[in-house]
Amino acid sequence: MEKYRVTPGATLRLADLDPADTGGIDKATAKAETKTLNRRLESQQELLYAEGKHKVLIVLQAMDAAGKDGTIRHVFDRVNPQGVKVASFKKPTSKELSHDYLWRVHEHTPATGEITIFNRSHYEDVLIVRVLGLVPEDRWQRRYGHIRAFEQLLADEGTTIRKFYLNISKEEQRARLQARLDDPSKHWKFDVGDLDQRKLWDDYMAAYETAMSETSTEDAPWYVIPAEHKWYRNLVISRILVDTFDRLNMAFPEQTEDLSGIVVE
């Protein structure tokens, strides 16, 4: 899956990447493998909690309708809900705005033995903030350095970080938004404001390219995931995460007491 990783120091061009890529895998094969990987993630999460040495942060970013919620639902289908936290970052409250922009983020990072998923994240402060001009350019430009330092702090303190951008085309977004409008049961998922953001598609692509180019590091890499085929999106992310957990070389803690003679009455 390294072909989807943004090489540290490289300049990313999203136009060069195919959001409909399937890696030559068919849907049935991908779904079957994803189920197997779901079971492995279930075991790995239990081991992560039991060992109590590591913490894992997963960042999901994407344009509207790219499938962040669906990714969480399908990739973590079998994982114990007690072992995974999801933090979604909405419009900052007045209290949050009175602090620096990373203040509200830091309290949601994972503790030892935990997996935390950021559904949107601190990257909004170099994405929508940049595109809508919410702060001066010289201010958001400095934030790339802040973010690299923040994520390095987390990594140095034992957090494993994986960041995923769900890549879809503008036409695919149009189709998905229209599908929500055509199905009354999905109207709750539609926000008229999404159409205003859609008009700024090219600006967002430029913002994402810069953000990922500036902040993909060895300890906090970005992956650009082809997301037009949901089944392939789920497979790729599952593969990357299972491999990530394998590399932690986790083990259940050794028992310090002799339990062999104990009988529960």
We report the CATH number of the domain holding residue 224 as 3.40.50.300
Q: Is residue 255 part of a domain?
A: no
pLDDT of residue 10: 95
Say if residues 204 and 130 touch (Cβ distance below 8 Å): no
Looking at this protein, which amino acid is placed at residue 180?
A: R
Q: Is residue 91 part of a domain?
A: yes
pLDDT of residue 93: 86
Pick from 64, 100, 67: nearest CA to 192 = 64
pLDDT of residue 237: 98
* Entry pTM: 0.94
User: pLDDT digit string (tens) for 72-128?
Assistant: 999 998 898 888 999 999 888 889 989 999 999 999 999 999 999 999 999 999 999
Pick from 242, 249, 247, 220: nearest CA to 76 = 242
Q: Is residue 51 part of a domain?
A: yes
* Number of structural domains found in the chain: 1
Tell me the residue range of the domain where 89 lies. Answer: 2-245
Q: Is residue 265 part of a domain?
A: no
Q: Is residue 261 part of a domain?
A: no
Spell out, as residue ranges, where the chain has pLDDT lower than 50. none
What distance lies between CA 88 and its chain's CA centroid?
11
Q: Is residue 257 part of a domain?
A: no
Q: Is residue 264 part of a domain?
A: no
Q: Is residue 67 part of a domain?
A: yes
